[in-house]
Chain A
Amino acid sequence: MMQTIVMPDLGQTTSEGKILRWLKNPGERISKGDHLLEVETDKVTMEVESYLSGYLRQVLAAEGQVVSAMAPIAIVTHTLEEPWEREEQKAGPSIAAHEVPAVPRAAAPSPAGSCVAPAAKILAQALGIDLTLVRGTGPGGLITRRDIEGFTRDRAASKPMAAMAALVTKSMQTIPHFYVSADVDVSAAESWRKKWNASHPELRATLNDVFARAASRALRDIPRLNMSYHDGQYEQKAESDILLVVAFESALVLVPAADPGRQPWEECLRSLHGILERAKLGQAAESTFKFTPLLAVSNLGMFRVKEFSAIIPPSCTAALAVGTARDIPVVRDGEVQLGRVATLTLSADHRVVDGITAANFMEKIQEHLNKL
Chain B
Amino acid sequence: MDDERRRVLDLLCEDARYTAEDVARQLDLTPEDVEAHVEALENAGVVRGYTAVVDWAALDDGIVEAKVELNVELDRETGYEDISRRIAKFPEVTAFQLVSGDYDFALEVRADTMNAVSRFVSEEIAPIPEVTQTVTHYVMETYKADGIEFDDGETDDRLSYSP
| B partners with A | no
